[in-house]
Amino acid sequence: QPVLTQPPSASASLGASVTLTCTLSSDYSTYRVDWYQQRPGKGPRFVMRVGTGGIVGSKGDGIPDRFSVLGSGLNRYLTINNIQEEDESDYHCGADHGSGSNFVWVFGGGTKLTVL
């Protein structure tokens, strides 16, 4: 099954842009990855899914246009433009693998985004 790796922290100034990275383990370069936002004290919120061709399907409810994704090689990126205070959150990436009783859903360790 894939392993997803995320840097533990990132920071950006109000109004700036930031790109968060989720790296798939080798041999899984074709996998799609989901991004989830988790504000402090809240449950996760679906942002969008990304494959090698970019976004897959639709964004989650209420996700602003400032959020975009890109996929390249083993990396799946989430870019946030014009960062706002409400974007300060933990961001998790996840991917499913296998089928039937061997199905698993794996998550990265999450990246804590601090808005300066």
Partner 1 sequence: EVQLVESGGGLVQPGGSLKLSCAASGFTFSGSAMHWVRQASGKGLEWVGRIRSKANNYATAYAGSVKGRFMISREDSKNTVYLQMNSLKTEDTAVYYCTRPSDDGMDVWGQGTTVTVSS
- List of residues contacting partner 1 (CB under 8 A): 34, 36, 42-46, 48-49, 56-58, 60-61, 92, 94, 98, 100-110
In the bound state with partner 1, the residue whose beta carbon lies nearer, of 47 and 82, is 47
Phi, psi of 100 (to 5 degrees): 60, -140
Which two three-digit tokens encode residue 115? 């808005």
Residue 69: which of 79, 82, 84 has the closest Cα?
A: 79
Which two three-digit tokens encode residue 45? 């919120």
In the bound state with partner 1, the residue whose beta carbon lies nearer, of 15 and 105, is 105
What's the min distance (Å) between Cβ of 24 and partner 1? 16
Residue 44 sits at the vertex; the CA angle it makes with 62 and 111, to the nearest 5 degrees, is: 105
In the bound state with partner 1, the residue whose beta carbon lies nearer, of 87 and 90, is 90
What's the min distance (Å) between Cβ of 15 and partner 1? 28
In the bound state with partner 1, the residue whose beta carbon lies nearer, of 30 and 102, is 102
CA distance 94 to 110: 10
What's the min distance (Å) between Cβ of 61 and partner 1? 8
